[in-house]
Structure 1
Amino acid sequence: MAKIRPKIKLAKTKAEWLWDVAGYSIYIGSIIILIYNWGELPAEVPAHYNALGEVDRWGSKMELLILPVIGAFLAVFMQIIERFPETHNYPDRLNEENAEKFYLQSRKMINSSKNICLIIFSLVLYESISIALGWWNGFGAWFMPVMLLSVFIPIIAGIMKQRKIR
Structure 2
Amino acid sequence: MKTQYPILKIKPSQLERYHDVINVILLLSLIGTTCYYYGQLPDTIPTHFNIAGEPDAYGDKITLLFLPGLGVFVFALLYYFQYKPHLFKHRITITAENIEEQYTKAIRMMRVLNTFTILLFFYIQYQTIQTALGKEEGLGQYFIVFAVIGGLLPLLTFVFSSKKTS
Q: TM-score, normalised by structure 1?
A: 0.90
Which segment is superposed worse, 131-140 or 38-47?
A: 131-140
RMSD of Structure 2 on Structure 1 (CA): 1.9
Tell me, in whole angstroms, the C-alpha distance in 1 between the residues paired with 2:54 and 2:138: 8
Alpha carbons 1:47, 1:59 under 8 Å: kept: yes
Tell me by how many angstroms 1:3 deviates: 6.0
Tell me by how many angstroms 1:132 deviates: 0.9
Give CA deviations for 1:66-122 in whole Å, capped at 9, x if unaligned. Answer: 101111111111111111111111235211111111101111111111121111011
Tell me by how many angstroms 1:37 deviates: 1.7
Q: TM-score, normalised by structure 2?
A: 0.90
Tell me if 1:124 matches 2:124. yes
Tell me, in whole angstroms, the C-alpha distance in 2 between the residues paired with 1:17 and 1:149: 26
Tell me, in whole angstroms, the C-alpha distance in 1 between the residues paired with 2:124 and 2:145: 14
Q: Secondary structure at the match of 1:59?
A: strand
Q: Secondary structure at the match of 1:90?
A: coil
| Matching residue of 1:156 | 156
Alpha carbons 1:24, 1:115 under 8 Å: kept: no
Q: Identity of aligned pairs, percent?
A: 25
Aligned residues: 166
| Matching residue of 1:50 | 50
| Matching residue of 1:26 | 26
Alpha carbons 2:91, 2:159 under 8 Å: kept: no
Q: Where does structure 1 lack aligned partners over 5 or more consecutive residues?
A: none
Distance 1:36 1:87, change over 3 A: same
Question: Which one-letter code corresponds to 1:85 in the other structure?
Answer: P
Tell me, in whole angstroms, the C-alpha distance in 2 between the residues paired with 1:147 and 1:141: 11
Tell me, in whole angstroms, the C-alpha distance in 2 between the residues paired with 1:2 and 1:119: 34
| Matching residue of 1:59 | 59
Distance 1:91 1:59, change over 3 A: same
Q: Where does structure 2 lack aligned partners over 5 or more consecutive residues?
A: none
Alpha carbons 1:16, 1:112 under 8 Å: kept: no
Question: Which one-letter code corresponds to 2:161 in the other structure?
Answer: K
Give CA deviations for 1:123-160 in whole Å, capped at 9, x if unaligned. Answer: 10111111111222233111110111111011101100
Distance 1:4 1:152, change over 3 A: closer
